[in-house]
Amino acid sequence: MPVNEKWMPKILAFCCNWCTYTGADLAGLNRMKYPANVRVLRVPCSSRVSPQFVLRAFQKGCDGVMVCGCHPGDCHYTSGNYYTRRRFMVLKEMLEFNGIEPERFQTRWISGSEAGKFRDTVAEVSEIVTKLGPNTAFNERRAENV
Amino acid sequence: MSRTGVFVCHCGSNIAGALDVERVAEAAGKLPGVRYAATYKYMCSEQGQQLVRDAIAEHGLDRIVIASCSPRMHENTFRKLLKDTPVNPYMLEIANIREQCAWVHTDREQATEKAIDLVRMAVAKVSKNKPLHSSFIPVHKKALVIGAGIAGIQAALDIADAGYEVTLLEKESSIGGHMVMLDKTFPTLDCSACISTPKMSEVAAHPNVTLMTGSTVESVGGYVGNFDVTIRQKAKYVNHDLCTGCGLCETKCPAKVTSEFNQQLCTRTAIFRPFPQAVPAKPVIDPDSCRKLSGKARCGVCQAVCPLGAIDFEDKDKLITDTYGAIVVATGYELVDWAPLYPEYGGGKYPDVITGLQYERLVNASGPTEGKILRPSDKSVPKEIVIVKCVGSRDKKKGRAYCSRACCMYSAKHAHQILDKIPDACVTVFYMDVRTPGKNYEEFYDRAREDGARYVRGRVAKIFRENGKLICRGEDTLLGRSVEVPADMVILETAMTPAPEIRELCARLSISTDEYGWVQEAHPKLRPVETQTAGVYLAGTCQGPKDIPDTVAQAGAAAAKVCILFSKNEIEGSPMISAVDENKCCGCSACVRVCPYRAVTLEEIDSREINGTVKRHVARVNAGLCQGCGACAAACRTGAIDLLGFTNAQILKEVDALCL
Amino acid sequence: MAQLQFDNSASLAEKIAADAGVTLSDCYQCGKCSAGCPMSASMDIQPRQAVRLLQLGMADELVRSRMIWLCASCHMCVDRCPNDVDLPALIENARYEAQRIKLCAVPEVGKFNDIFMENVKNFGKSQEVILEGAYNLLSGNLLQDMGSVPHMLRHGIVGPEIRTVREREHVRRMLTAAEKEDEGC
Amino acid sequence: MLRYAYYPGCSMDTTGVTYRMSIEYLARKIGLELMEIPDWNCCGASSAHAKGKWQALALPARNLAIAEKRLPGLDICVPCAACYARLLAATAAIRESDETRARIEEITGVTVKAGAEILTLMDVLGTDEGFAACAAAVERKLTGLKVACYYGCLTSRPRAITGVQNIESPELMEKIVSLSGVECVDWDFKTECCGGSHQVDAPAAARPLVERIFRNAKANGAQAIVTACPMCHLNLDMREEEINRKMGTAYDIPVYQFTQLLAVAMGASAKEVGLQKHFYPAFKRLDRTLRKAGTLQ
């Protein structure tokens, strides 16, 4: 995929079913508009997302990955997002170590009623990733073409 | 090789209007493993579901992908559909191409591209789905109702009348909550005690109800159908089995403390019943104000005079643990502490500036003034009275933007009562809006004006005392002029706020509250009496400000929900729980540590190895306790424990599919 | 009297609100500002009505009113407003708009401010005696507060002495530049 | 160390002369160093911000700039409430946005960072150190004199920039002036406006404000009113007789600056605090209080 002028980043968002996914649905109900380059992958809790999935996404060519869950303290499973917070603090350093710009990976807390925050977060992250350009550091497929 | 069917829904024009559904179906048709792809105007309709049944039969499909609205809407609908087909209900994936695609993107081309991606992810994931079968959880048919105001009482009565056991908790020493403090209730003006005390005695005498006053929830474990709850019952220092409620001790007790029930308008003794019609009608000793228990003096008068020896100073708090199938939260409200918020209304230094509840105690026959409206400062009959509405409500600056809903009506009631009881009284009501959203409410407001209440539209800016009068400064915005109204007494209709310890209780029940502390209902319109935690229900003002009619209606609804739960001996647990592949498990117990529900334990097993059988530890999941969060699956280094329905394989497939 | 028309000066209303950093829709017309305003009794329109005029795009009527000149900017209204509407800022900006079209419905206040600023421009400091004297002359109430002049002279409260700022030229330049800046936006 | 940059304001040498005399006496007594900002200019009071936003910011900004250069690291003590409000507003505007700061520097031609804190004299004497110094310097008590502490509006409002918590009935002046032994009455017009410059340019509209303040003070048993601002003091002291004459009231409430009472309690004579300069006779009431308390000098 050569980089054309209207290049659209491909961003994967792991969203917890109880909070962020609900917030995303609410954004739809309110007909809010946000960039179309984010694909949501539903998980029961943000603590279900293993660092392996994030690395796999970058390896397979994603330009940005988000892990979104409930605000700490509001987790439907009481403590899930505490593990999320700790796991992905460590992962950010590892991504940097691997030469991936850490800004490509974002963790955000969005509750079921924060439809506006979901829209703004998607817009913000897609802008960040668009500025960073395609993820060339760590992906097989793009390496072959370039 | 999987034989997948993909069904793309138009959803009328909701989806078809924003993206090219035909192209999505066509692209889906070319995906590996897809045997059949079609679109239909309304997949969730009867005909849409029939289309799926026919396609399964005709093409021998074993996996289904529906590209439609959010799975949170119709996943269950399509699972029920698959129940009576050869396809297992969990061989199904939903692609959300409405709320998260059609409705939120304006560019038709990009939306179609995204929809195709989402379908490709769903097809990839479904290829790794496995048939799953539900496990069943026993239901303890015993309910716990927290809070014994009118909401808790009504819910407990309804559940008990349905034949189930109920434990009704109340943190105060008598049940009745705020309703029993009131004199009359709107819009019919019938006496509050006359309609609530019968219910109080009925619930106290009901064979199925165990009433526990002075009790709060210490901790909650378990899950729907099997909550194990520890209750702390405060020491009463009076043995209620011996005591007959004769009241002799109350007359002799020397300690005098302000009465919380009477809103600080009069005092009560250390050994006391909050009000004459208290249920249970037996006193308790308040350890802080009792001279003997607080160590101030030797006293012990009550013990000496008690003919039945019911006083027991050695009484201790009790911790009782029990298992409940359902919990109803009915913790009610408190009035906001207005004094620190409103220095411009005197900040509490004027005794004749009182709250609505203090007024209710004044006008109540069992109140400190036996129903005569006398102002607290000099017990004289106030002639000019000002009622100020929205004190603490609808005021972002003071921290609460919401409307407390009931004050418009009860301020009209207050105005009516004053004009009724004090012949030549002059009542001025400062209001912004008068909201009468109920049956006969508007007519009730008309009557208050006909009685002569003067309604002035404008919010009071300042109340101060000068030459014996309380001057209320407001603007009559309809007249466009500022005005000073001198008054003998001012009634502030203050905002409702949640009960003080609501946040701790919600943390224990793992249900959330909004920024003000009102308990978060599962869905404001469709599931108002349920919470996010299955088996925990809501009733009354703990969920938000409301009046008595709505509270009682909600109490009945919550009771109905409990009865629905109890109508089955066991409930179908979700099959999407963790499972352990014991060959891969090395017993490192990482999963045991992260599980919020203590659902994973290490078991010792005999494992056949090359050199004979060896004893080793492996993880084991308790199907009843596991709620399917998946924290263990992410913590497991070897992938031994995995979450069925969201296995590592499924998610990795979904990630790969996105990046083709 | 022609029928009332809304939005007869909507752009001016929006400008005043924008300059003041106020979202007009925040105000739900509860009247707490007028109620607490010490000067409301002598105002032709109430503080709340000032916001109402701006909400309805009738800024012209506000700019011509006496109210914006009688406001003592004591900030009682904004500090009690349930919606934090900065009414003093709206009134201040209404005054700026009035001055741009040479309007002052309470001429004495306009004159007082002009003399005050002239003093500051000339001497760098406000001169009470010149302010008092010039104001009486220009406002026409020649004898205002004359009764207390002997007392003030006897006790040296006012006197012939003029106190100036050494770098008053700098103050003058500064004020002229600021005036240009104020006319601009 | 009780050392502050000092911004007196234009009225300190004229209508605020009694305030200046009592502050100087007080400062000498408790070792309070007030370093006057050299060549300071007028703060613009209520006229500048009526004329234009940038005129209102330019005038105080120049004073801040001089203080930063010539008296670095010192907070600025501003006894007059109007000057305090203008310097505080300029400080807040400069700190809030760099764009504003740049335009102000362009207009005034001086660099200004607005790092210094702006304090009223009450804030200064309210600090632990200031309060202890005042307490130590008190020699005699004005016991029995009932006073109403009047703050006016600008020392507490707007709360967004003054940070005062209770804008309806602050307690700071009561705490400080009680050192002189007076009894502070609880009344309700502590922070109601006195009309400011409108007493001159809109007298008919402004006089009732002053009458309203006297009425509430009298209704709550005040024998004197205490102020902490030259403008408030002038508006109350100068208009009392005229109000009695024109509005048929009989107020007999002298008006003192809180620094005058403190100075007298620290041994100052009537002349040293300029009691004779008051418009409404102020000597008699203090004299009788001291006699009754048996501590007249």
Average pLDDT of chain D is 93
Q: What is the pLDDT of residue B650?
A: 95
Cross-chain CB nearest to D39 (options C127, C148, C165) = C165
Tell me the two tokens of residue D77: 């003590």
Q: Is B536 helix (H, G, I), strand (E, B) or coil?
A: strand
Tokens of A38: 């984010």
Distant-in-sequence, close-in-space partners of D160: CB < 8 Å, separation ≥ 6: C78, D92
Interface of D with B (CB under 8 A): 166-169, 186, 188-189, 215-216, 219-220
Pair of tokens at residue C142 = 């020649």
B229, B142 contact by CB (below 8 A): no
DSSP letters for B314-356: T---EEEEEEESEEEE---EEE--HHHH-GGGTTT--TTEEEH
Residue D197 confidence (pLDDT) above 60 = yes
Q: Among C63, C82, C100, where does a domain finish? A: C100
Classify residue C1: in a domain, yes or no. no
CA angle, C95 as apex, C90 and C98 as ends, to 5°? 125
In this structure, is residue A3 part of a structural domain?
A: no
By the 8 A CB rule, do B37 and B6 touch? yes
Write out the two tokens for B370.
């036996």
Q: What ipTM was reported for this prediction?
A: 0.82
Same domain, C123 and C56: no
Q: CA-CA-CA-CA torsion for A76, A79, A81, A87, nearest 10 degrees?
A: -150
CATH of the domain at A28: 3.40.50
Chain B partners (3+ C-beta pairs within 8 A): A, C, D
Please state the separation of Cα B162 from the chain's center in Å.
22
Tell me the pLDDT tens digit for each residue of B275-321: 989 999 999 999 999 999 998 888 989 999 999 999 999 999 999 99
The Cα D84–Cα D158 span in angstroms is 12
Q: Report residue B642 as tokens.
A: 């995995």
Do D189 and B464 make contact, defined as CB atoms within 8 angstroms? Answer: yes
Of the pLDDT bands very low, low, confident and very high (cuts 50, 70, 90), residue B447 is very high
Q: Does the pLDDT at position D59 exceed 70?
A: yes
Report which of B432, D232, B480, B479 is spatially closest to residue C43, judged by C-alpha positions.
Answer: B480
pLDDT level of residue B497 (50, 70, 90 thresholds): very high
CA distance C125 to chain D (A): 5
Asked whether at least 3 C-beta pairs link A and B within 8 Å, the reply is yes
Name the residue among B160, B182, B348 with its Cα closest to residue B262: B182
Inform me whether the pLDDT recorded for B370 exceeds 70.
Answer: yes
- Is A1 part of a structural domain of the chain? no
* pLDDT of B394: 96
Classified as helix, coil or strand, C147 is helix
| Judgement on whether residues C17 and C94 belong to the same structural domain of the protein | yes
pLDDT at C147: 85
Residue C117 contacts residue B433 (beta carbons within 8 Å): no
Phi and psi of B81, rounded to 5°? -60, -45
**Cα of D132 vs its chain's centroid, Å:** 20
Same-domain status, C57 and C113: no
- Shortest distance, CA C170 to any CA of chain B (angstroms): 43
When CB atoms are compared, the residue of D17, D51, D200 closest to C157 is: D17
pLDDT value, residue A77: 84
- For residue B131, tell me if it sits in a domain: no
E strands, D76-211, are 76-77, 118-119, 146-149, 183-184
Whether the per-residue pLDDT at A139 is higher than 60: the answer is no
Considering only CB atoms, which chain B residues are within 8 Å of D220?
A: 466
For residue B525, count other CB atoms closer than 10 A to its CB. 6
B532, B527, B530, B529: which is closest to B540 by C-alpha?
B529
In which residue are the tokens 């668009």 written? A130
d(CA C60, CA C54): 9
Range of the domain at A82: 11-145
B660 — pLDDT class (breaks 50, 70, 90): low
- Given a cut of 80, whether residue B121 has pLDDT beyond it is yes
- CA B82 to chain centroid, in Å, comes to 34
Whole-angstrom distance, CA of residue D46 vs CA of residue D54: 14
In a domain, B432, yes or no: yes
| CB–CB contact B466 D169 (8 Å) | no
> B497, B519, B534 — which closes off a domain?
B497
Given a cut of 60, whether residue A145 has pLDDT beyond it is no
Q: With contacts defined as CB-CB under 8 Å, which chain A residues touch B648? A: 50, 52
Q: What's the maximum distance between 2 C-alpha atoms anywhere in chain C?
A: 60
Do B254 and B301 touch, CB atoms closer than 8 A? yes
Cα–Cα separations (whole angstroms), residue B218 to B320, B321, B505, B507: 9, 9, 8, 11
Q: Same structural domain for residues B613 and B536?
A: no
Kindly determine whether residue C30 and residue B459, on different chains, have CB atoms separated by under 8 Å: yes
Interchain CB distance below 8 Å, B464 and D216: yes
Partner B, chain A 59-88, Cβ-Cβ below 8 Å: 60-62, 73-74, 76-80, 83, 87
Cβ <8 Å between C34 and B475: yes
End-of-domain residue from the set C53, C85, C100: C100
Q: Which token pair is D179?
A: 């050192």
- Is position C3 within any domain? no
CA dist B155 and B259 (Å) reads 28
The domain that contains B203 carries what CATH number? Answer: 3.50.50.60
> Could you tell me if C90 and C115 lie in one domain?
no
Sort A130 into a burial class: Cβ within 10 Å, 0-12 / 13-18 / 19+.
middle
Q: Strands B142-146 and B165-170: what pairing?
A: parallel
Mutate to test the interface with C, among D11, D20, D42, D216 (most CBs of C within 10 A): D42
- Asked whether residue B484 is assigned to any structural domain, the reply reads yes
Alpha-carbon radius of gyration of chain B = 32
- Return the percentage of chain C with pLDDT > 90, whole number: 69
pLDDT score recorded for residue D296: 56
User: Does residue A85 fall inside a structural domain?
Assistant: yes
Same structural domain for residues B346 and B456? yes
The percent of residues above 70 in pLDDT, for chain B, comes to 100
B378-414 pLDDT per residue, tens? 999 999 999 999 999 999 999 999 999 999 999 999 9
Q: Is residue A1 very low, low, confident or very high in pLDDT (cuts 50, 70, 90)?
A: very low
Give the SS3 label for residue B659. Answer: coil
Over chain C, what is the mean pLDDT? 92
Q: Give the contacts of D125 (CB within 8 A, at least 6 positions apart).
A: D131, D134, D176, D262
The phi and psi torsions of D218 (rounded to 5 degrees) equal -65, -45
By the CB < 8 Å criterion, does B462 face chain C?
Answer: yes
pLDDT classification of B498: cutoffs 50, 70, 90: very high
- A22-to-A15, B99, B102 alpha-carbon distances in Å: 9, 10, 16
Q: Do B343 and D186 touch (CB under 8 A)?
A: no
Query: What is the arrangement of strands in the sheet containing A38-43, beginning at the earlier edge strand?
Result: A38-43, A11-16, A64-69, A105-109
Residues B579-617: tens digit of each pLDDT: 999 999 999 999 999 998 888 999 998 888 888 888 899
Bridge-based pairing of strands B333-335 and B469-476 is unpaired
The answer for residues whose C-beta is within 8 angstroms of residue A71's C-beta and 6 or more apart is A19, A81, A109, A111
Does residue C31 sit within a domain?
Answer: yes
A2 domain-assigned: no
CA distance to partner chain B, nearest, from residue A57 (Å) = 6
Cα separation, B233 vs B218, in Å, equals: 9
Say yes or no: B201 and B323 in one domain. Answer: yes
The pair of structure tokens assigned to A60 is 């397979």
CATH of the domain at B597: 3.30.70.3270
Pair C18, C91 in one domain: yes
Domain assignment of residue C124, yes or no? yes
pLDDT digits (tens, 9 = 90+) for D123-161: 999 999 999 999 999 999 999 999 999 999 999 999 999
User: Are B656 and A60 a contacting pair at CB < 8 A?
Assistant: yes
Give residue for tokens 């009241």: B247
pLDDT at A9 over 70: yes
Q: What is the pLDDT of residue B520?
A: 86
End-to-end Cα distance, chain C? 34
| Across B568-584, average pLDDT | 91
User: Does B59 lie in the same domain as B202?
Assistant: no
Domain residue limits at C25: 10-100
Give yes or no for a contact between B492 and B353, defined as CB atoms under 8 angstroms apart. Answer: yes
* Contacting partners of chain D (3+ CB pairs under 8 A): B, C
The boundaries of the domain holding residue B618 are 578-643
- The Cα diameter of chain B in Å comes to 103
Whether B459 and B324 map to the same domain: the answer is no
Q: What is the pLDDT of residues C7-31, one digit of tens each?
A: 889 999 999 999 999 999 999 999 9
- Quick one: tokens of D6? 């000092």
Task: Confirm whether A107 is domain-assigned.
Answer: yes
Q: What per-residue string of b and e applies to B125-158 under the rule 16 or more CB within 10 Å gives b?
A: bbbbbeebeeeebebbbbbbbbbbbbbbbbbbbb
Instruction: Please count the structural domains in chain C.
Output: 2
Please judge whether D50 and C113 are an interchain contact, meaning their C-beta atoms are less than 8 angstroms apart: yes
User: Is the domain of B209 the same as that of B252?
Assistant: no
Locate the DSSP E strands across B392-480: 426-431, 454-457, 462-466, 469-476
Report, as an integer, the average pLDDT of A114-132.
Answer: 93
Instruction: Kindly list the structural domains of chain D, giving each domain's residue range(s) and its CATH number in brackets, ordered by start.
Output: 3-121 (1.20.1050.140), 140-293 (3.40.50.11810)
Same structural domain for residues B492 and B365?
yes
d(CA B482, CA B475): 4
Q: What is the DSSP letter of B381?
A: P
A38 has which bridge partners? Answer: A11
The total number of structural domains in chain B stands at: 5
pLDDT at D262: 95
Domain match, C94 and C14 both: yes
Kindly list the distances between the CA atom of residue C64 and the CA atoms of B499, C72, C179, C184, D13, in Å, as whole numbers in the listed order. Answer: 51, 17, 22, 21, 37
Q: Look at residue A113 in the predicted model and tell me its pLDDT.
A: 81
C-alpha–C-alpha distance, residues B387 and B474, integer Å: 12
DSSP state of B500: T
> B398 and chain C: CB distance < 8 Å anywhere?
yes
In a domain, A5, yes or no: no
User: Which residue stretches of B127-278 are H helix?
Assistant: 150-161, 192-205, 248-252
Q: Which of B341, B332, B368 is nearest to B492 (CA)?
A: B341
Q: Establish if C139 touches chain D: CB-CB under 8 angstroms.
A: yes
Identify which of D15, D54, D157 has the shortest CB distance to residue C181: D54
Tokens of C111: 């004159």
Does a structural domain hold residue A61?
Answer: yes
Which residue, C100, C122, C146, sits at the end of a domain?
C100
Whether A146 has a pLDDT exceeding 80, the answer reads no
Can you give the pTM of this predicted structure? 0.83
- Per the prediction, chain B carries an average pLDDT of 93
Determine contact, residues B239/B230, Cβ cutoff 8 Å: no
Residues C68-84 have a mean pLDDT of 96
Q: Is the pLDDT of residue C36 over 80?
A: yes
C92 and C15 together in one domain:
yes
For residues B473 and B344, state if they share a domain: yes
**Quick check: C96 and D55 CB within 8 A?**
no
Q: Which residues contact D164 (CB under 8 A, 6 or more apart)?
A: D155, D156, D157, D170
Both B273 and B246 in a single domain?
yes
The whole-angstrom distance between residue B290's C-alpha and the CA centroid of its chain comes to 35
Per-residue pLDDT, A2: 47
Structural domains counted in chain A: 1
Residue C162 lies in a domain: yes
Pairing relation of β-strands B284-285 and B271-272? antiparallel
Residue C47: inside a domain, yes or no?
yes
The answer to whether residues B493 and B423 belong to one domain is: yes
Decide if B50 is inside a domain. Answer: yes
